[in-house]
Amino acid sequence: MRFTIRTKVLIGFAILLILSSLIQAFSFDITRNYITSQINNSQSVVAQDGANKLQEFFTGLNEVNLGLARNYKENINIASSSGQNNIISISKYVVNNNDQVREITYLSSTGRDIYKFNANGQVPQDQLNYEVYTDSFKTAVSGKTSISKVYYLDRELGPHIDIFTPVFDTNHSVIAVIKMQVYLETLRKNIETIKSGQTGYMYVVDEQGILIAHPSQEYVLERPNLSSRKIVTQTLHNQTSSEQDYIYKNEKNINMRTQ
């Protein structure tokens, strides 16, 4: 079949249009993939920032408790009252200058209260008691720092934890345990500033999936168990997650994607 010059020109023009469309589609696909990768990279950076803040929070508390343990060890055997006064003054300072620290208790290895401090100062000797022999306390007595499970004093105060730090003598035997009661509202305030885009945010659950920190304190006080979210359960059990597991509906029935 022979084509006229006009037909050949039209066919050529049509081929150019098709090629142009293919090139545009290919370019759009590359751009879309690039944007998606950048979003994922951005979310990863935000997630890492959140993990860093979480680690900083607990590292800071651990350092404070280790400082108290060191101070107690240095002063407990001083014969004069100056040793006791140093323990008291340092403990009061820590409670009064750390919003997250609600109480500090010095315990014997058998669980007897030696000293206790809260926002009102030193607790009188006749109000001291014995520590419940929990797994966290037993771990500290064995020589390792431990953290209790999250608990609530009452509905309005929100979640707390206890950090137990052993105190060693010169023979590396545990002679006491320092228990620091920590209010997790400060942790909530720390992660409240972490944002991903306009709507993304960070929240923290405990080992059972119960919410302990979230931008909404009201939601935290409801004590929801978020283990029904696949991504939460799989993360807690170190299981491999599929892409679909990262997508779920939140408490407001809004589609969310975790990172």
Q: Digits of tens for pLDDT over the chain (259 positions)?
A: 554 555 544 444 444 444 444 444 444 444 444 434 443 455 566 667 777 777 888 888 999 999 999 999 999 877 667 888 999 999 999 999 998 999 999 999 999 999 999 999 999 999 999 998 999 999 999 999 999 988 888 766 788 999 999 999 888 899 999 999 999 888 888 777 777 666 677 788 888 888 888 888 888 888 888 888 777 777 777 766 555 555 555 565 555 555 5
Cα–Cα distance between 104 and 89 in angstroms, integer?
A: 12
Cα–Cα distance between 39 and 43 in angstroms, integer?
A: 6
* Helix pair angle (81-97, 5-75), 10° resolution: 150
Those residues with Cβ within 8 angstroms of residue 234's Cβ, 6 or more apart along the chain or in another chain: 240, 241, 245
Cα–Cα distance between 84 and 67 in angstroms, integer?
A: 16
Closest CA to 115 of 71, 64, 146: 71
b/e map of 64-97 (b: 16 or more CB within 10 Å)?
Answer: bbeebbebbeebbeeeeeebeebbbebbbebbee
Query: What pLDDT, on a 0 to 100 scale, did the predictor assign at position 41?
Result: 53
Q: Beta strand pairing status for 174-183 and 200-201? A: unpaired
Query: What pLDDT, on a 0 to 100 scale, did the predictor assign at position 226?
Result: 82
Q: Which amino acid belongs to residue 60?
A: G
Cα–Cα distance between 128 and 113 in angstroms, integer?
A: 6
Are 214 and 223 spatial neighbours (Cβ–Cβ below 8 Å)? no
Closest CA to 223 of 243, 245, 251: 251
**Global confidence as pTM:** 0.71
Query: What pLDDT, on a 0 to 100 scale, did the predictor assign at position 257?
Result: 56
Are 178 and 104 spatial neighbours (Cβ–Cβ below 8 Å)? yes
